[in-house]
Structure 1
């Protein structure tokens, strides 16, 4: 410990890195009845803590080593830390990145002056290529986590936390990938405030440190989940594992949905968007609060990165409510007859729907896919009970990954040819799009306004978080009722567009031919 403490105190990081603020998360603190602080490493020049360790290691290179240059393997944050450090030290930097690395991250590394070599489909393949080139070209390899000076550089975060907070916190939560960040923080904190708990956080599908600590030896995972790509490491480092054994009090694992919820939580407190690995500590802190029923504690979570791909935001927003258990996904069965949909909506009255998908099918029963906001798990259970007691068979799909990732986007199909038997001759399916002000109860108002004799054959609604809600509705209307339909459109007052002749509808959703 003394050796690492001295390294941390001597660490040279502030030539390129900043002392980041320790900010009180007011919303999170109020919600969870604890004083919650966020260490904002996402505010570093490369939007990640990785700059600290990379520069500290490279600042100790000899002039000869600097002249030859450095090499690193990384798919993101470490790459940018090495590239910026090399730019400041005026040395050549080669970064080997997997060919699957998003173009945004490749551009960011090149913009900092580093050479990028794309190799392999995984980090392990990129690492092996970096080691080969290091030997071949005489480049110094800068390890992303398993190096004493890299660990010491990351440990300067703890030095700042202890200086920025008046009294020792009860716990500090740290994201764990290879272990460099938690190794540095834990070593420094335990040397001064041994009573402070150091708690590591990993995704369920990349829990290399948790499994290794349980086994008493380093475990190599056969594969890892890639959502939190900044911590997607199959095996932790030798040095970092040893430090974790000595100084880490507990490990917490969290799901993808819980990470998405944490990203939303931090956004609501700071208006900043963390990457999945950057929000990992916050997700773990929330899980630990719930598990141990923590109250009136002082808790610190390290927000360690914000290199988020813009394309992921859609996924994050969709899964955040599920991560908080504030959305239920249900399959509800109704009789295939006029009025059933209205009866279901009456049962759901007072609930804010996030999604509603229905397509008329063969048989006398129909399945409806529903997303609905709930307060918590208990509220979800009460909703299921209310639906079942009203005569609607239902299945809770909230925790089903196939449903969350795929089926919710695949509900549909063609109108069966036999559907026209539901009304008399001259019946046809009309398809319309509607827009309406997005507010609680607006969807129910729309359904209630429909003529009870009209059979709804398609109904799709999805809450996109905008001020305007959008619905697609298919209705079976007889020719002699077209005037009534037009009056309905006029009285409703919502902007609408007829899509009955839309070619996409005709190809994928239109009536089947006999």
Structure 2
């Protein structure tokens, strides 16, 4: 669904530019994954899918489950042990079958792939052209709202968001920098860019679990090598602090994976001119709760308001 585009007075004043928030947190499932997964599910139904199989640590699985219920198609989601109970509960609420397998997404994904057949179609959480096609509509909506951004800031996990945003920018003839944000413990794109190779991290760590892909999709890496992509990393504490500030400023709860992007603006890590329009993808996060965010805040000795 079309999401609001909001000018943030707080972040605009803080960064001396015009900061525009694309509120993907307002999607029915709480994250931009509804846009990408939703498009993929619809396309595969057109091709005859009778069941959806997916692997996910959270947002993607929730969106597959949502689409399955909406389309009256059974869904099985394989999740790693790191998946929050909140995320699992949200999948179960949509009548999906949820199987917990392995310590990481890689292990969960192996089981998911083994369940695929001619009618049970695999929905990848981040590496599929249909996903990117869905995400690209974000830029179409921004342009339709009359904003032609001078830069885009977004978080990177597996790479579907940056892949789709890049596609949307290209078809709208926008050649602007993309600031790709990761946490220190999930910096698969940042590390690959530094090495100039499509590498896989030995491990991913930290609380931004929805960014925890050991390797970004090849398309995201290729974009980073050919386009104006500026990779940055932030600490888990920076991400949580930004989540708390954003909750106060915009009355919206987002997960640390989204807070990572917001933190570079709250901490003024990028310089913009007063006339520039900066687009921020508020990717959301369905499985975060205020209780969990408060626990993270306590972990980092941050203040919260009950």
Q: Same fold (TM over 0.5)?
A: yes
Query: 1:107–1:34: structure 2 CA closer, same or farther, 3 Å change rule?
Result: same
Deviations 1:82-115 (A, max 9, x none): 1111122221111001233222211110111211
CA distance in 2: counterparts of 1:282 and 1:98, whole angstroms: 27
Residues 64, 32 of structure 1: CA spacing in aligned structure 2 closer, same or farther, 3 A cutoff?
A: closer
Q: Does 1:93 align with 2:75?
A: yes
Partner of residue 153, structure 1:
134
Partner residue, 1:502: none
Counterpart among 101, 111, 135 of residue 129 in structure 1: 111
Q: Distance in 2 between matches of 1:186 and 1:100?
A: 30
CA contact 1:50–1:77 (8 Å) conserved in 2? yes
- 1:97–1:123 contact (8 Å) kept in structure 2: yes
**Structure holding more strand per residue:** 1
Q: State the TM-score, normalized to the length of structure 1.
A: 0.56
Q: CA RMSD in A?
A: 2.2
3-state SS of 1:225 partner: coil
- Using the size of structure 2 for normalisation, the TM-score is 0.91
**1:500 aligns to what?**
none
- In structure 2, the residue matched to 1:311 is 291
Structure 1: which 5+ residue stretches go unaligned? Answer: 1-17, 323-462, 467-514
SS at structure 1 position matched to 2:116: helix
Contact 1:179 1:237 in 2 (8 A): yes
Whole-Å Cα distance in 1 between the matches of residues 152 and 104 of structure 2?
Answer: 31
Residue 243 in 1 paired to residue 223 in 2?
A: yes
Cα distance in 2 between the residues matched to 1:221 and 1:169: 32
Aligned to 1:471: none
Match of 2:236 in 1: 256
Which stretches of structure 1, 4 residues or more, deviate above 6 A after TM superposition?
Answer: 319-322
Q: Deviations over 1:232-253 (max 9, x none)?
A: 1100112332233333421111
The residue correspondences of 1:325-364 to structure 2 (distance < 5 A) are none
Change (3 A) 1:123 1:226: farther
Match of 1:212 in 2: 192
Q: Which residue of 1 aligns with 2:24?
A: 41
Quote the Cα distance in structure 1 between the aligned partners of 2:95 and 2:79: 15
Q: Report SS of the residue matched to 1:51.
A: helix
Q: 1:185 aligns with which of 159, 165, 172?
A: 165
On the 8 A contact 1:183/1:244 being kept in 2, the answer is no
Report what 1:416 is aligned to: none
Q: Bigger CA drift: 119-128 or 28-37?
A: 28-37
CA change 1:251–1:178 in 2 (3 A) is: same
- C-alpha distance in 2 between matches for 1:311 and 1:120: 26
Distance in 1, matches of 2:11 and 2:194, equals 31
Q: What number of residue pairs does the alignment pair up?
A: 304
Cα distance, 1:193–1:199 mapped onto 2, change above 3 Å: farther
- Please say if residues 177 and 228 of structure 2, whose CA atoms lie closer than 8 Å, have aligned partners that are also in contact: yes
Q: Deviations over 1:442-476 (max 9, x none)?
A: xxxxxxxxxxxxxxxxxxxxx7757xxxxxxxxxx
